[in-house]
């Protein structure tokens, strides 16, 4: 993670925006004794929000964990079977 002071961020803002727009890139901006802020792409931010929403829903977490257990135990369903069940 790149870290830059608020003073430097002000003079490099457009370059930092371009850098933060790249997948996986996060820039921490520091200002005196205040907590850091983070500059990241909107897509990256949306991904974080979606992940937090999923993790805050116990039912979804249980479904994900059950699916992972089924995969690791070798229990699999073909795409054709799923399509048939969904009438696709």
Is 13 part of a structural domain of the chain? yes
Q: What pLDDT does 70 receive?
A: 87
**75 or 28, greater pLDDT:** 28
58 pLDDT more than 90:
yes
45 pLDDT more than 90:
yes
* CATH number, position 26: 3.40.1620.10
22 pLDDT more than 90:
yes
Is 51 part of a structural domain of the chain? no
Rounded distance between C-alpha atoms, residue 19 and residue 26, angstroms: 8
Beta bridge partner(s), residue 84 = none
Is 24 part of a structural domain of the chain? yes
Q: What pLDDT does 43 receive?
A: 93
User: pLDDT of 3-17, one tens digit each?
Assistant: 999 999 999 999 999
């Amino acid at each position: 993670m790149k870290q830059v002071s608020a003073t430097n961020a002000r003079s490099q803002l457009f370059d930092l925006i371009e850098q933060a727009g790249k997948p996986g890139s996060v820039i921490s901006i520091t200002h005196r004794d205040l907590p850091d802020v983070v500059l990241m792409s909107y897509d990256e931010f949306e991904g974080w929000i979606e992940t937090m929403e999923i993790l805050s829903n116990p039912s979804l977490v249980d479904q994900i964990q059950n699916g992972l257990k089924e995969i690791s135990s070798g229990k699999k369903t073909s795409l054709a079977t799923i399509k048939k069940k969904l009438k696709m």
